[in-house]
Amino acid sequence: MTYASSILGLLPGGRRAPGIDQLASKIEAYLPPDQVERVREAHEYAEAAHAGQKRQSGEAYITHPIAVADILADLHMDGPTLTAAVLHDVVEDTPSSAVEVEQRFGKEVAEIVDGVTKLDQVQFKSRKEAQAESFRKMILAMVRDIRVIMVKLADRTHNMRTIAAMPPPKRRAVARETLDIYAPIANRLGIHSLKLELEEIGFRTLYPQRYRVIEREMRRARGNQREFLPKIVKALRQALAGGNVTGRVEAREKHLYSIYMKMRRKKLPLAQVIDMFGVRIIVGNADDCYRVLGLVHGLYRPMPGRFKDYIAIPRVNGYQSLHTTLFGPNGMPLEVQIRTEDMHRMAESGIAAHWQYKTGEHDGESQQLRAREWLAGVMQMHDGSAEELLESVKVDLFPDKVYVFTPKGDIMRLPRGATCVDFAFAVHTGVGQRCVAAKVDRRLVPLRTVLRNGQTVEIITAKGAQPNPAWASFVTTAKARSAIRQYLRGLKRGEAVELGSRMLNQALEEFSLSLKSLPAGRMDEVAQSLSLKDGRELLEKIGLGERLARLIARRLLPADDERPQGGPPPPLAIAGTEGLVVSYARCCLPIPNDAIVAYLSSGRGVVIHRENCANVAAFGKQPDKWIPAVWQKDQQRLFSAGLNVEVVNKMGMLAQIATQIAAEQSNIVHVNVDTSQGDQSTILFEVQVRDRAHLARLMRAIRSMPEVTRVERSLA
């Protein structure tokens, strides 16, 4: 925005910034006089509070809250929301208090203003944390009152309209946040008009060159297709009249950001994005929608596989419409949307339609119900980090959905790429936690199977079954990922407590003590002196390597105990079944009967190394972190070991060695072949064995093959 335009109160494109009279005139059309007067009172109060304040563009600050309220008035939001929009910055940017706002304008308005204010008040350590925490606060605000987010979306929309006044680095950061968070939330709430504007300005600001290129091509395409579109619209109107259907036909131009995202998603050059224009047909009822579909398919041939029925199966944000793509004149692709007036209103206003059309209609209520169902799912995982929450929910904010059926015929909406496990958790968290198998269209399939549109999915559960940690690597929905992580955190805590007990008992043996022999409450005392909740949390910290068992053991001694520390601590016995809190170093791949030591890694627990591992010497500067360890007898699991096998180059050698490995009852986890040595090759195997004896038998079997020249165990 230029300085001159800001003095005149103009928005980009020459639009004049709305004043209170214009706003009042707009809301008088749908609000009662007492609410219009309330908005005027709020304007007088805010204008006095913001007196002397200027925006970066040079405008009087009061123009901003009035513009925010004007945007919401276009959505026909209710009186309290518009009043709160006018007042939304007074608590944060002026001496006015929340108490004063409540006294003047009531509790409902004050709570919306307070919700908007709190979204902007926390300081953050990093941009990523700020973005994630901002998102978390928005979700919490939406749970309390979705109107808070309506005000925030309108606030961001006006800030984007005047973004040219910001310095370039700030401009890019705001545009990125808008495209990452605000536009997807507007889309998720079904507010199409705000979503389009936020995306358009965000795209133009963040990628100006890409925006200009696509805009130029759109102008060229508009010129090429100008002669066709009026003919198509006329033909469609005649078809509707011939079928005795009343409705209106509108030509529309595709949104630049949606064209850009289609290019990125499908990896297409701009020249291959051919459906830049479309037609929308709006009729009286849903029956007419399907009649019109038949009429347009009779007029132009439909493209196979390009029909979507969002009336029978609405999108997750409540959007309803029929979509079909036709071969238009000269084979030009033509996308047609067919919907009712109610569906069109919902597509444009989304959840805002709940306030606009409260009485006698239920579309808005069902829209708000969908939004609240989504929010309820989000809140199930809000106890994790803000960054984790943002990454998880981004999957849901970009709704590229598949629709599948339960055995009873109910429709389930899932993100594209969702698996049977995602479906199980979508049905119910308990079903997901106990699932052991799945049937898709009555056939047993692996749980990691990716689902496709129209499939019927049945989940088989078993009492006592628990989530598999491996599921976390392939689930796509936020709900499934959060539930699995929560289970793993609980599992890890339990395992850490058990390991911590063993380690502390081992350390107490130096003083001829044990946990059982300690006085009642002694563990809790020491834990609280270390700012921990209780003895169990202390054991967990020891098991996770965040506290040293030997130091805690000495703290547990009575204050007057002067006995010296004994000799070296007894070794920690490794059973191989400790789970997530004991891991095996990738640098040396220890297996049972190797000489080993244990390294206490903060947060990870205990990491087992071979004694001859190079990292043992490297970590020697931290003697307190190392403890002796031994293997328990009769291990029941398999461990990874590395093998270097040198062979004479010959066709089929890898297959022959793999057969020999299988014959010795070992599995291959990973293989890598180096053929850079001419007539010799080196094959690196990672195999699973029970212990050193098993590995030795395997090495002898491979060494006995004629083409094998050398076999040795590798460090990794």
Those residues with Cβ within 8 angstroms of residue 595's Cβ, 6 or more apart along the chain or in another chain: 610, 611, 612
Could you say which of 41, 47, 74, 92 is catalytic?
92
415 vs 127, more confident: 415
User: Tell me, what's the pLDDT at 573?
Assistant: 81
CATH of domain 3-210: 1.10.3210.10
Q: Pull the structure tokens for residue 244.
A: 């005795």
**Is the predicted pLDDT of residue 123 greater than 50, yes or no?**
no
pLDDT in tens, 181-240: 788 888 877 788 898 999 999 999 999 999 998 888 888 776 666 667 788 888 999 999
Find, among 311, 335, 182, the residue nearest to 252 by Cα: 335
Structure tokens given for 343: 């569906």
Mapping DSSP onto H, E and C, the string for 288-299 reads HHHHHHHHHHHH
Pairing of strands 308-309, 301-302: unpaired
Q: Per residue in 274-302, pLDDT tens?
A: 566 789 999 999 999 999 999 999 999 99
Phi-psi region of 691 (alpha: psi -120 to 50; beta: other; left: phi over 0): beta
Q: Which of 489, 186, 450, 232 is nearest to 335 (CA)?
A: 232
Residue 83: closest CA among 61, 104, 63: 104
In sequence order, what are the residues at sequence separation of 6 or more whose Cβ sits closer than 8 angstroms to the Cβ of residue 633? none
Residue 374 has pLDDT above 60, yes or no: no
Which pLDDT does position 510 carry in this prediction? 76
Fold held by 639-714: Alpha-Beta Plaits (3.30.70)
Is 93 part of the annotated catalytic residue set?
yes
Q: 217-356 belongs to which homologous superfamily? A: Beta Polymerase, domain 2 (3.30.460.10)
Beta strands in 590-699 (DSSP E): 596-601, 605-610, 626-631, 639-648, 667-677, 680-689
- pLDDT value of position 157: 94
Q: Which amino acid is at 174?
A: V
Q: What pLDDT was estimated at residue 135?
A: 57
Instruction: Give the confidence band of 137 by pLDDT, cuts at 50, 70, 90.
Output: low
Collapsing DSSP to helix, strand or coil, 630 comes out as strand
d(CA 435, CA 418): 16
Which of 73, 71, 72, 52 is CA-nearest to residue 62? 52
What is the residue-wise DSSP string for 322-376? EEEEEE-GGG-EEEEEEEEHHHHHHHHHGGGHHHHT-SS--HHHHHHHHHHHHHH
Q: How confident is the model at residue 659 (pLDDT cuts 50, 70, 90)?
A: very high
100 is an active site residue: no
Fold match between 3-210 and 217-356? no
Note the pLDDT tens digit of each residue in 695-707: 999 999 999 999 9
Does residue 438 have a pLDDT over 60? yes
Segments making up each domain of the chain, as ranges: 3-210, 217-356, 486-631, 639-714
Find, among 319, 209, 196, the residue nearest to 257 by Cα.
Answer: 196
What are 395's two structure tokens? 């999957």
Amino acid letter, 75: L
Query: pLDDT tens digits for 312-366?
Result: 888 766 788 999 988 887 777 888 999 998 888 877 766 555 444 443 334 444 5
Q: Which of 93, 129, 458, 509 is catalytic?
A: 93
Q: In whole numbers, what is the pLDDT of the chain averaged over residues?
A: 81
Q: Could you tell me which of 251, 220, 244, 348 has the C-alpha nearest to residue 294?
A: 244
Q: How far apart (Å, rounded) are the C-alpha atoms in residues 170 and 149?
A: 22
Following DSSP, what letter does each residue of 209-269 receive, concatenated? HHHHHHHHHHHHHHHHHTTHHHHHHHHHHHHHHHTT--EEEEEEE--HHHHHHHHHHHT--
